[in-house]
Amino acid sequence: MENGLRIFNVEPLTEEGHLSVEAVGSIRSCSLLHRTNLIALVAGGTMPKFAENTILIYDDLKKKFVLEFTFTSPVLSVRLQRDRLIAVLQNQVHVFSFPNNPRKLFSVDTRNNPQGLVAVSPLISSERQLLAFPGMKVGSVQLLDLLTTEADISSAPNCINAHRTDIACIALNQQASLLATASCKGTLVRVFDVYSKVQLVELRRGSDPATLYCINFSPDSDFLCCSSDKGTVHIFALKETRLNRRSTFSKMGLSLGTYVESQWALANFTVPPECACICAFINNSSVAAICMDGTFHKYLFTSDGNCNREAYDVFLDICNDEDL
């Protein structure tokens, strides 16, 4: 935030702590190491206290910074995993071992990536942990297995050509088997099998161009949600795609191209329009949206398309009144 950093638990909605602007300044990007005491911070915004080309690691138990990683250009985003730190720059992705014996494992050049787009699957097995980011070709996504890629190992890039225009949003499922992408047009979300690189389904958010803020899979990968600047969160079925809505023209048997054949959202709900928000599944039947205006929305959805609000709150008003 512009005035520091705040950490919330979502279910139930409670503030777990905050770092004041006096302590850390304004923050561009941050990441928790799961639910541990380690927090990665990147300065940015109007009141940065630290250099924007540095990732700082804050230890919430020791109440101090314990580590830093410095680069030659500003860091656009950072991700922490159980044994990896991923730093995204405008034209590079750097991967470090972390938190034990931190060292750079490898770096990869990327296409111009001003949003710092990156997705990493959680390490839920010892088989693979995928990293996804924009490839060198327009509309492509490059995939790397963090468990097998090292600095001294040369491997051919594993790329999926997803769109004809630049990538705007990417997501991986927890099982590291599916990749979801959207382009800067923002009308379609495409889901690919990462093993075969085959497109499994094409989901239509809408017909008008939009800026997609977020894509997320449900824990079991049966559903997918996305949010955009249109003020609507869309929920799609992936396992039983017959649940998704179809165009009226397709029911009439008219052949009008891919627009008619696209699958539309099973369910949706609205949030404040033109207000950036992220969305994610709390479980396999509920979705939460967290918006830049400080509002929290939780909706329950059913397989027949019903979507009902279960909770609404202004999360910025929730405070534990303790500066860390």
Query: How long, in residues, is the chain?
Result: 324
| CA distances from residue 131 to 85, 111, 168, 169 in whole angstroms, order as listed | 11, 15, 16, 14
Domain ranges, ordered by start, for the chain: 1-80, 110-314
* Predicted confidence band of residue 122 (pLDDT cuts 50, 70, 90): confident
Mark out the alpha helices in the chain (DSSP H runs): 21-24, 248-251, 258-261
Residue 323 is predicted with a pLDDT of 45
The predicted model gives 26-41 an average pLDDT of 95
Kindly state the DSSP code that residue 126 receives in the 8-state scheme: S
Residue 153 has pLDDT above 60, yes or no: no
CA distance 18 to 41: 13
Looking at beta carbons, which pairs linking 101-108 to residues 24 or more positions away fall under 8 Å?
102/67, 102/69, 104/151, 105/149, 105/150, 105/151, 106/149, 106/150, 106/151, 108/133, 108/142, 108/144
The predicted model gives 217-223 an average pLDDT of 96
The predicted model gives 208-224 an average pLDDT of 96
* Predicted confidence band of residue 251 (pLDDT cuts 50, 70, 90): low
* Predicted confidence band of residue 128 (pLDDT cuts 50, 70, 90): confident
CA distance 82 to 99: 8
Token pair of 109, please? 């050049």
Q: What is the pTM of this model?
A: 0.91
Q: If DSSP codes are grouped into helix, strand and coil, which group holds residue 283?
A: strand
The predicted model gives 239-267 an average pLDDT of 74
In the numeric block, the tokens 């950072």 are attached to 78
Q: In which region does residue 101 sit, left (phi positive, over 0), alpha (psi from -120 to 50) or beta (all else)?
A: left
Percentage, residues of the chain above pLDDT 90: 81
Residue 150 is predicted with a pLDDT of 65
Check residues 259 and 71 and name the one with the higher pLDDT: 71
The predicted model gives 167-179 an average pLDDT of 95
Token pair of 273, please? 């329009």
CA distance 158 to 33: 27
Burial 170-202 (b: 16+ CB within 10 A, else e): bbbbebbbbbbbbbbbbbbbbbbebeeeeeebe
Residue 126 is predicted with a pLDDT of 60
Residue 275 is predicted with a pLDDT of 87
Residue 258 has pLDDT above 70, yes or no: no
Residue 270 is predicted with a pLDDT of 95
CA distance 306 to 41: 39
Would you say the C-alpha torsion 298, 226, 184, 250 has a positive or negative sign? negative
- For the chain, the average pLDDT equals 90
Q: Which residues contact 152 (CB under 8 A, 6 or more apart)?
A: none
Residue 154 is predicted with a pLDDT of 42
Q: What CATH architecture is 110-314?
A: 7 Propeller (2.130)
Residue 318 is predicted with a pLDDT of 86
* Predicted confidence band of residue 324 (pLDDT cuts 50, 70, 90): very low
| CA distances from residue 46 to 2, 26, 189 in whole angstroms, order as listed | 7, 7, 33
Token pair of 265, please? 């959202």
Q: Beta strand pairing status for 232-237 and 130-134?
A: unpaired
